[in-house]
Structure 1
Amino acid sequence: MTFSTAYTPRPGNGPQGSLDDQPTTLEAWGAYVPSRSVSLEDVGGPLGLTRAQMKVLRRVYGVRDMRLDPEQSLFDLLLPAARAALKEVTDPSTVKYLLYGHATQEVTPSTMDAADVLRTSLGLHDAQAFGLSQQNCAIGLAAIDMAGALLAMDGDPAARALVVTGEKPFAKLNQDYHSLGSVMGEAASACLVARGGRGDRVRSYVTRARGEFADGILMDQETRERANNAHDPEVCGVIREAVAQAGLELDDIHRFVHYNSLMIEVSTELGVDRDRFFTDNLPKYSHCYASDVMVNYTTMRDTGQLEAGRHYLFTATGLGATYSAMVVTHAPEGDR
């Protein structure tokens, strides 16, 4: 079964009026990666990877190093990114929603609500806080879209939502994805979302699900091969649809900001030069669940690679399987 949806404005039914004619905007964002870097070989042995498997990961998929710090807690990972996104917020009461997107369904003990811990730790006492999952590594883009929908329905133009992503690999099963070309690392990201605010404008969002691949890492070999074969065409499909929904052409997209993968087949099928795909962080961080896109976008900002008025395409996929794409226009300095 295939399910697909595209971004459309939601009606503003909140008490203060409608914001359905205003775009979702990213006003601020930040990222955090642990300082401790380890090599693929450092983790490959404990994970039981063979030399041949590690060779394939290095040479075919570009995996080299990743950030892992077992001495840091989940919140040591998440809070620096969240605080970076909130640093210009002078009134915490304007942040009405906190969305914590995580790819792994279990991130804390059952007695702990991670979103509520984040809300309290950040002093966002008036915010409604909740977690989002089920779209796995594509959940970050879904959370941005949901944040925009919540703000539209809220109806308060001063209201903001904070989206946070990040998690720690805690078992072999959720770190070793060598058959899919990844060994997972640690990173966190956060972005402050507004409706009609001063920031980067979200122009479109498209997501598609293939329910026949819902078993994810537990798929049998035949289903896994079908999922692998479907991956690149599905990614290209949501990219093309998101670009069209934004009223643009592929040539209008300045850079493609994606989960940490080489994207060789995708760039070839789209007919897009591989240099337009941002891959600088792949050999340093490997794949970091739902945080790759915003970590990469933050890196581009911090290294002067974002240009005002240019269009950027975010794309992420989630095991299970979800394929998502979002087009964002980087705001001029005076509009941020």
Structure 2
Amino acid sequence: MPGHIESITLYIPDEYQSLNELVPSLELTPLDVRMFSRFYGLARFPRAPGSLDDLFRPLMSQFTARHEPLLPDIRYVVHTHTLPAVKPFPDSISALLPEYGFRHDIEFCSLTMGHCSSSLTAVDWLSRKLKAGEYALLLIGEKAFHPRVELIADTTIMGECACAVLISNPEGRGNVLGRFTTQAGEFNRQSGHASDCSPRFSDHYFPFILRALHAALNHFDVTPETLSWLAPHNVNISSWNKILGEIDLPKNKVLLENISKYGHCFGADPFINLLTLLQQERVQSGDKILLASVGMGATFSSLLIQADSSHPIAVIAI
């Protein structure tokens, strides 16, 4: 049962750390710096001082100010994050909700097992739970609080942001046309420890994502010619250039410019890129946009949405 993305609210901190500033804490070599900057296109990374609550408070203030009349109709709130646990559960993001006027009996949960792709799966899952007239709120965001979290070796460096996606289930067709997810179970153990004997996902990443993208296009019955935009996860420019060469998708249909601005912001990347496309008015009514992300584990998830000028997605960037 496809749903509808009503709005995207995004908070990106004003504070940034440059690649050079991260060299000591991440123990980057000069070769690492050249690789991340010249080939991967990474330059700076938003980093908010304080706690996870401090990251979410500006987002929640802006979201509730814009959507106050709808708060009684928000039935579900889901926080998706890459790490299995970001706070002790009694102190989860749900503890913030009463401060901002959400109903006392709202249902809250976390989704994590798709890691950075969990946010895309959550849109479909929430859409199926909603009844007519109800809304759900998807919250995305976590802290890059430790070098093991900040860095995916030879791949990317993490940024921080908080994102809220308001979802409804209209009686007619929503702008979410469907979801496609696939997994490679042999990579289900990714502890980050050097002693981990599971296969190295990085050695199999390209075949996996190529198969997944081809399968997604077939599932949605779209082609590189009929697809208007790909809003991907912001891992690095080099990997996407290699992937695009294999699926014959023109580079001007893929939003990659945010990689150098923000790095890889966990599960928020596809929504950051979708918001950018909408803000810059690069989307026309009827355009089909594929949101895609890969999470360690390994899970590929994607959403196909279609722009509709009669019911546009509201965007709020702080």
TM-score, normalization by structure 1: 0.84
In the alignment, residue 291 of structure 1 is paired with which amino acid? A
Looking at structure 2, the residues matched to 95 and 199 of structure 1 have their Cα atoms a distance apart, in angstroms, of: 20
Cα pair distance change 1:334/1:95, threshold 3 Å? closer
Looking at structure 1, the residues matched to 40 and 109 of structure 2 have their Cα atoms a distance apart, in angstroms, of: 34
Counterpart in 2 of 1:251? 225
Looking at structure 2, the residues matched to 168 and 199 of structure 1 have their Cα atoms a distance apart, in angstroms, of: 36
Looking at structure 1, the residues matched to 27 and 215 of structure 2 have their Cα atoms a distance apart, in angstroms, of: 40
Looking at structure 1, the residues matched to 269 and 111 of structure 2 have their Cα atoms a distance apart, in angstroms, of: 17
Counterpart in 2 of 1:240? 214
Cα pair distance change 1:39/1:109, threshold 3 Å? same
Looking at structure 1, the residues matched to 301 and 277 of structure 2 have their Cα atoms a distance apart, in angstroms, of: 20
8 Å CA contact 1:67–1:285 kept in 2: the answer is yes
1:182-331 superposed matches below 5 A: 182-196=156-170, 201-216=175-190, 217-218=192-193, 225=200, 227-260=201-234, 261-262=236-237, 263-331=240-308
Please report how far the alpha carbon of residue 255 of structure 1 lies from its aligned counterpart in structure 2 after TM superposition: 1.0
Calculate the aligned-residue CA RMSD, in Å: 2.2
State the secondary structure of the residue aligned to 1:144. helix
Please report how far the alpha carbon of residue 25 of structure 1 lies from its aligned counterpart in structure 2 after TM superposition: 0.8
Please report how far the alpha carbon of residue 199 of structure 1 lies from its aligned counterpart in structure 2 after TM superposition: 9.1
1:106-145 superposed matches below 5 A: 106-109=85-88, 111-114=90-93, 116-125=94-103, 126-145=105-124
In the alignment, residue 150 of structure 1 is paired with which amino acid? K
Once superposed, which parts of structure 1, at least 4 consecutive aligned residues long, lie more than 3 Å away?
79-86, 197-200, 218-225, 333-336
Looking at structure 2, the residues matched to 118 and 306 of structure 1 have their Cα atoms a distance apart, in angstroms, of: 34
State the secondary structure of the residue aligned to 2:45. strand
Cα pair distance change 1:45/1:198, threshold 3 Å? farther
Please report how far the alpha carbon of residue 174 of structure 1 lies from its aligned counterpart in structure 2 after TM superposition: 0.9
Cα pair distance change 1:118/1:242, threshold 3 Å? farther
Please report how far the alpha carbon of residue 254 of structure 1 lies from its aligned counterpart in structure 2 after TM superposition: 0.8
8 Å CA contact 2:124–2:178 kept in 1: the answer is no
Looking at structure 2, the residues matched to 102 and 36 of structure 1 have their Cα atoms a distance apart, in angstroms, of: 21
Counterpart in 2 of 1:52? 31
* Residue among 134, 138, 149 paired with 1:159: 134
Stretches of structure 1 lacking an aligned partner (at least 5 in a row): 1-8, 10-22
8 Å CA contact 1:163–1:192 kept in 2: the answer is yes
Deviations 1:205-243 (A, max 9, x none): 111121211222337688554x22432232233323333
Counterpart in 1 of 2:83? 104
Looking at structure 1, the residues matched to 268 and 167 of structure 2 have their Cα atoms a distance apart, in angstroms, of: 16
Looking at structure 1, the residues matched to 291 and 195 of structure 2 have their Cα atoms a distance apart, in angstroms, of: 30
Looking at structure 2, the residues matched to 256 and 221 of structure 1 have their Cα atoms a distance apart, in angstroms, of: 34
Looking at structure 2, the residues matched to 51 and 224 of structure 1 have their Cα atoms a distance apart, in angstroms, of: 28
Cα pair distance change 1:83/1:247, threshold 3 Å? farther
In the alignment, residue 294 of structure 1 is paired with which amino acid? F
8 Å CA contact 1:62–1:283 kept in 2: the answer is yes
State the secondary structure of the residue aligned to 1:185. coil
Cα pair distance change 1:31/1:335, threshold 3 Å? closer
8 Å CA contact 1:27–1:198 kept in 2: the answer is no
In the alignment, residue 229 of structure 2 is paired with which amino acid? R
Please report how far the alpha carbon of residue 108 of structure 1 lies from its aligned counterpart in structure 2 after TM superposition: 1.6
Does residue 29 (structure 1) correspond to residue 29 (structure 2)? The answer is no
State the secondary structure of the residue aligned to 2:72. helix
Counterpart in 2 of 1:93? 72
8 Å CA contact 1:81–1:190 kept in 2: the answer is yes
1:167-182 superposed matches below 5 A: 167-179=142-154, 181-182=155-156
State the secondary structure of the residue aligned to 2:6. strand
State the number of aligned residues: 307
Looking at structure 1, the residues matched to 77 and 199 of structure 2 have their Cα atoms a distance apart, in angstroms, of: 35
Please report how far the alpha carbon of residue 80 of structure 1 lies from its aligned counterpart in structure 2 after TM superposition: 3.4
Looking at structure 2, the residues matched to 60 and 161 of structure 1 have their Cα atoms a distance apart, in angstroms, of: 39
